[in-house]
Amino acid sequence: MRAAWMAGALVVVAGFAATVFGYRWAHTQTTDTPVPIATPIGVTLQRVYVGPMVAGGIANYKVPTARAVFADSQGRPAYVFDKDVEAGKSSCNDACAQSWLPFAAPANAKAVDDWTVVTRTDGSRQWAIKGKPLYISAKDKPFGQPSGNGTDDAWHVALFAPDEALEKPDGIEARELPKANGIGLVDEREMTLYVFDGSDATARALCEDADCAYRWKPVAAAAVARPIGEFSVVSGPGGSPQWAFRGQPLFSFDGDNEPGDTTGEQPDKHWRSALLVRYFIPDGITIRPNHFGGENLATASGQTVYVRDRSSYLQGHSLRRGIPLVAAAGRAIGLSSCDAACAKAWPPVKAPSDAQPSGFWDVATRDDGSKQWVYMGYPLFLYSGDKKPGDMNGYDIYEFMPGQDPLKTANLPPMMPHGSAALVWRQASP
């Protein structure tokens, strides 16, 4: 799929030069290199608990590891079938397809990046990832946990893990970068790596002064380094070897202070994080730094976006961060616990009438028929008490329910036994 990268890397080498004054370097980008989307429209990402058991925030309490999996628009996990050995062809038909429903692709679906459309023997269309057809278990419930993982030692949840298959040089890893809204490259210190993403064939990097040169450091490659996977070696400033990803030279930025920082992102100057894949984000929603030193979702005008969550207290331990995220619970609480009166103080973040789910984003229909954006299973709200961009006056507003569990009121299995519980408003974080 990426066969053209080697040829592109040779062009980059020819266009990458240095001058002796102020470390002026010029990178001529010969073609736009769009970042692949994690999921097409109609395919979502859900966090389910299919990994090994890990500590759950309190002594002797453990939960399975959460993993991201591909899912349909109803939040039902997708599966792959080991007996599908021929790329782009399904071997699950007739009775098999009654239990394992083909993941239907819409009539207008087109191949994009690693996503293709399989035409089945009956003429219907089915999504496939990297040539592997996807299925939905007839037993799985919307926004629930997978019931068919490991069935017959042949059915497995379709994990979203682009970093696990990445061939990479020593010293370069892939990590989720919430601030950049995707999975990207980091160095051995876990610091974000960047590329210069010019907008056309004549775009050039803008390092015109010593300060810029000081802040942007090429990711050095060994003199004997050879291409690996989508990584190539180009001639960097001064002729020294430098790693490039998908034909674009890699840099670190000294303005980043902690792992996961992406302060080097400067879209107006064509600097961006070196992402493997990007996540869908609706128009009008941004990721904005806040005064707590973190990030939260916000509207284009800077209004903080919130979710309504649950918090439990057991044996004196606060388990706000210890309770696993459950999409069905978040959805039920967000919709059932904020009625029309509540919505006057907490207006829902409205979605267009034709909005479609993708990635971690979903769409809910409220009682009045309006559409509301849902992120990672949690319906999104604004707060009337926020008066200017960046305000976060709705953070940590609790409604305590002694002796109750908010999950019981939502007709869902309780996540914790006994203790006190509360509903809490918190900012929506990427």
pLDDT, residue 318, reads 35
Are 69 and 131 found together in one domain? yes
pLDDT band at 424 (very low <50, low <70, confident <90, very high): confident
pLDDT, residue 174, reads 97
Are 98 and 184 found together in one domain? no
pLDDT, residue 146, reads 94
Are 61 and 141 found together in one domain? yes
φ, ψ for residue 268, nearest 5 deg: -65, -20
What percent of the chain is modeled with pLDDT above 90?
58
pLDDT, residue 49, reads 86
Report the candidate in 301, 307, 295 with the shortest Cα–Cα distance to residue 380: 307
**For the ranges 61-65, 108-112, 146-150, 362-366, which has the lowest average pLDDT?**
61-65
Residue 153 pLDDT greater than 90, yes or no: yes
Q: Which residues contact 282 (CB under 8 A, 6 or more apart)?
A: 351, 355, 361, 373
Are 144 and 176 found together in one domain? no
Please write the tens of the pLDDT for every residue from 288-329.
988 887 889 999 999 999 999 877 544 333 333 334 456 777
Indicate whether 208 belongs to any domain. Answer: yes
The conformation of residue 149, written as its DSSP 8-state character, comes to: T
Q: Report the distance separating Cα 407 and Cα 262, nearest Å.
A: 36
**DSSP three-state, residue 110:** coil
Q: Report the distance separating Cα 312 and Cα 321, nearest Å.
A: 9
pLDDT, residue 17, reads 32
Indicate whether 294 belongs to any domain. Answer: no
Indicate whether 102 belongs to any domain. Answer: yes
Indicate whether 293 belongs to any domain. Answer: no
Are 131 and 196 found together in one domain? no
Are 180 and 273 found together in one domain? yes
Domain boundary among 96, 122, 157: 157
pLDDT band at 330 (very low <50, low <70, confident <90, very high): confident
The residues pairing with 195 across neighbouring beta strands, listed in sequence order, are 272
Domain boundary among 118, 138, 157: 157
Look up the domain containing 126 and give its range. Answer: 44-157
Please write the tens of the pLDDT for every residue from 44-99.
999 888 877 776 655 566 777 888 999 999 999 999 999 999 999 999 999 999 99
Kindly state the average pLDDT of the residues 10-37.
41
pLDDT, residue 404, reads 53
Mean pLDDT score of the chain: 82
pLDDT, residue 231, reads 97
Are 128 and 222 found together in one domain? no
The position carrying tokens 């980008």 is: 29
Indicate whether 286 belongs to any domain. Answer: no
Kindly state the average pLDDT of the residues 377-405.
86
Domain total in the chain: 3
Per-residue b or e along 241-270, where b marks 16 or more CB atoms closer than 10 Å to that residue's CB: bbbbbbbbbbbbbeebeeebbbebbeeeeb
The sign one gets for the Cα dihedral 219, 223, 229, 231 is positive
Residue 414 pLDDT greater than 80, yes or no: no
Are 205 and 124 found together in one domain? no
Domain boundary among 247, 278, 309: 278
Are 117 and 185 found together in one domain? no
pLDDT band at 206 (very low <50, low <70, confident <90, very high): very low
Indicate whether 289 belongs to any domain. Answer: no
Q: Which residues contact 34 (CB under 8 A, 6 or more apart)?
A: none
Cβ-contact 176, 165 below 8 angstroms: no
Are 252 and 320 found together in one domain? no
Indicate whether 292 belongs to any domain. Answer: no
Q: Report the distance separating Cα 213 and Cα 8, nearest Å.
A: 25
Residue 371 pLDDT greater than 70, yes or no: yes
Residue 32 burial class via C-beta count within 10 angstroms: exposed 0-12, middle 13-18, buried 19 and up: exposed
The residues pairing with 17 across neighbouring beta strands, listed in sequence order, are 26
Q: 202 or 357: whose pLDDT is higher? A: 357
Q: Report the distance separating Cα 291 and Cα 60, nearest Å.
A: 35
Kindly state the average pLDDT of the residues 257-277.
89
Kindly state the average pLDDT of the residues 176-200.
88
Q: Which residues contact 96 (CB under 8 A, 6 or more apart)?
A: none
Q: Report the distance separating Cα 27 and Cα 198, nearest Å.
A: 9
Q: Report the distance separating Cα 400 and Cα 403, nearest Å.
A: 9
Residue 186 pLDDT greater than 80, yes or no: yes
Pairing outcome for strands 295-299 and 378-379: unpaired
Are 264 and 333 found together in one domain? no
Cβ-contact 201, 30 below 8 angstroms: yes
pLDDT, residue 326, reads 67
**For the ranges 162-176, 265-279, 389-403, which has the lowest average pLDDT?**
389-403
pLDDT, residue 333, reads 83
pTM: 0.80
Report which residue type is found at 191: M
Per-residue b or e along 126-149, where b marks 16 or more CB atoms closer than 10 Å to that residue's CB: bbbbeebbbbbbeebeebbbbebb
Are 55 and 95 found together in one domain? yes
What percent of the chain is modeled with pLDDT above 70?
78
Kindly state the average pLDDT of the residues 369-385.
95
Report the candidate in 397, 382, 302, 324 with the shortest Cα–Cα distance to residue 349: 382
pLDDT, residue 270, reads 80
Indicate whether 214 belongs to any domain. Answer: yes
